[in-house]
Amino acid sequence: MKIDILFLRSAIDFTPREKSEIRNALVLHITKAARALRYNPRILTITIHPNWYRTDRQGMPAYTQLEDWIWIALNYKQFRSKKHHARLIERLKYLAYHETHHAARGYAGFMAGNRHHILLNSVVSEGLADTFALERYPSKHVRSYVTYHKKEARGWFKEIREMHQTEYTSSWLFGGHGKPKSVAYKVGRYILAELKRKHPKLNATKLVRTDYRRILKLAGMR
């Protein structure tokens, strides 16, 4: 697999040293993730935009757009600050595992064939990707980020289960409008924790291509 990292043009640009640091963090950990997941496209393209002006999503949002394309944006001001730089490098490593799991699973912004997004599949897929990152790279940053509150997550799972599964707003994924921040991610982490408690030999690597309904059944959460 060739990893092709493209830095998109903007009014702001990273220095050669910054680009090298970003590239090194991503390539090493994407390679490790892909090997574990037996994910081997001919080319995996990573596009990086430097001028993300917001500070939410930890100053670095990312999306798996297609099974062989990951989009990342960075807040260059945070990236260049002594306060945030080390954290953003750690977030890059976390994203290498999280987004590669999505790509290997086929969970992307644009789904192949006639597939469409289903809310519970999104919840499970985010939980799988976060659990994979935690299993493969249990750094202090990842351990502090991949968390959930059991009672809260259980309550929101019940709400999500009753939702229309193909027509829903982004707040059901990222929070807002009365929902906690990153609600789908927290519920997904809870589902995977329950599954692993019941089936200790299973992990997010083995489950990468498992249907979300099967995962809910294994977790005892049908």
Q: Provide the pLDDT for residue 57.
A: 65
C-alpha pair distances (Å), 212 with each of 127, 166, 221: 11, 14, 11
pTM for this prediction: 0.95
Residue spans per domain, the chain = 2-105, 119-218
Q: In this structure, which long-range contacts are made by residues 211-220, counting pairs with CB atoms below 8 Å and at least 24 apart in sequence? A: 212/118, 212/120, 212/121, 212/123, 212/124, 212/125, 213/120, 215/124, 215/128, 215/191, 216/120, 216/124, 216/191, 219/191, 219/192, 219/194, 219/195, 220/194
Instruction: Identify the pLDDT of residue 53.
Output: 83
Q: Could you tell me which residues come within 8 angstroms of residue 197 by beta carbon, excluding any fewer than 6 positions away?
A: none
What are the 10-residue block averages of pLDDT along the chain, 222 residues in total? 97 96 98 99 98 79 97 95 96 98 96 84 98 99 97 97 90 94 97 98 99 98 82
Query: What's the pLDDT score for residue 222?
Result: 74
Per-residue pLDDT, 199: 99
